Amino acid sequence: MAATFAVATQAEPVRIELAERSYPIFIGAGLLRAPEPWAWLPQAAAAVIVSNVTVAPLYAQRLQARLRGRYPAVHTVVLPDGEQHKNWSTLNRIFDTLLQQHCDRKTVLIALGGGVVGDITGFAAASYMRGVPYVQVPTTLLAQVDSSVGGKTAINHPLGKNMIGAFHQPRLVVCDLDTLRSLPARELSAGLAEVIKYGPIADMAFFDWIEANLDALVARVPTALAGAVRRCCEIKAAVVGRDERESGLRAILNFGHTFGHAIEAGLGYGEWLHGEAVGCGMVMAATLSQRLGGVDAAFVQRLTRLLRAAGLPVKGPRLADNNAGRYLELMRVDKKADGGKLRYVVLEQPGRAALRDAPDALVREVIDACCA
């Protein structure tokens, strides 16, 4: 997957190639007002926009206006904001609206928001009447480069993140870069964690480019954001096209996530943003990779510097007196565990990742070394 990286200038969508479940990812400024992406919408009698209390006041009316020319009925569900609300109770609010409005199995759900909205809307779409179509309209950098693409949908359980869900591919993804203008700085940094992730696992030329253009990304220069979002989506499309249901290769996209999910669950969902936990988790995963012989200390330091420069935490929080034990306890509730045995996404070399076993004693050492 590695190649010399250059910012693409063409406006063609990135394609997820999954036979009859293939779909385009449109990336550009002003797409909520543009006609082209919306020609891909499925036909139906009704559409339901799912958003949250932060995003809906900014963009729901604009999206409603775009949809009303295509659907006789357009309904809107506004959810509370935050990872702590990605649960059964919030999910049922979507089902309540679908049932109250007598929505049928062709009704189109449209996720307007960040990763939480996208995940919970996708799971609702996978579940309602055993599956209805849905569309992703991600409004955060993290959602545009990662969670809106690939069809992984879920809600959280108090004992584990994203443990209740389904694979359900969207029909269309629309990444309007204009929505990133309203993103708080902390949310932008959280999104940069997922951008940075793609370099160590798949494309070191892209990693070099991120280092050189980090200031432009933080300043939200449109060409920089467009280039980053497009390249991330291209890498993810290539991986998902080869391994839709995470039977092997797709696990590399979870670099840093095993440690990161433990941080989120251990602190309480919402205390750290997902990208913050993943950024710190990448330092832990890179350190484990070094101990396993995949990368050297200089690379771990390089990755750590970039994450810190992006405004992300690079030291893990202490979760308990027996800190490493608590991390391991939480990480055992992980979808990559096999027969109760933990497996980790590690770097075999910069630009190439793999799923590997590691002894608990070594992982404990890594956690102790990487926690404040």
Phi, psi of 112 (to 5 degrees): -115, 100
Catalytic, 102? Answer no
| 365 is an active site residue | no
Catalytic residue among 156, 254, 264, 276: 254
CA distance 335 to 175: 28
Give yes or no: 156 in active site: no
Structure tokens at 287: 């350190």
Active site residue 152: yes
Assess contact for 202 and 351: CB atoms under 8 A: yes
Three-state secondary structure along 184-223? Answer: CHHHHHHHHHHHHHHHHHHCHHHHHHHHHHHHHHHCCCHH
Q: Which of 246, 276, 323, 335 is the catalytic position?
A: 246
Q: Is 348 a catalytic residue?
A: no
Catalytic residue, candidates 66, 161, 231, 261: 261
Q: Which of 138, 224, 233, 164 is nearest to 194 (CA)?
A: 233
Give catalytic status of residue 274 as yes or no: yes
DSSP bridge partners of 213: none
**Residue 130 annotated among the catalytic residues of the structure:** yes
User: Which residue in the list 85, 250, 276, 323 is annotated as catalytic?
Assistant: 250
Amino acid at 197: K
Residues 6 or more apart whose Cβ sits within 8 Å of residue 361:
none
Which of these is catalytic: 257, 264, 276, 335? 257
Catalytic residue among 66, 162, 168, 194: 194
List phi, psi (to 5°) of 138: -75, 140
**Gap between the Cα atoms of 292 and 337, Å rounded:** 19
CA–CA distance from 151 to each of 191, 196, 241, 367 (Å)? 19, 21, 11, 31
The answer to whether 194 is a known catalytic residue is yes
**Catalytic residue (choose from 83, 274, 276, 323):** 274
Annotation says 87 is catalytic: no
What pairing do the DSSP bridges indicate for beta strands 108-113 and 160-167?
A: unpaired
Q: Which of 236, 244, 276, 323 is an active site residue?
A: 236
Q: Of these residues, 75, 152, 161, 230, which one is catalytic?
A: 152
Containing 229, the helix (H) or strand (E) segment is helix 222-242
85 catalytic per annotation = no
Catalytic residue IDs: 130, 152, 194, 236, 246, 250, 254, 257, 261, 274
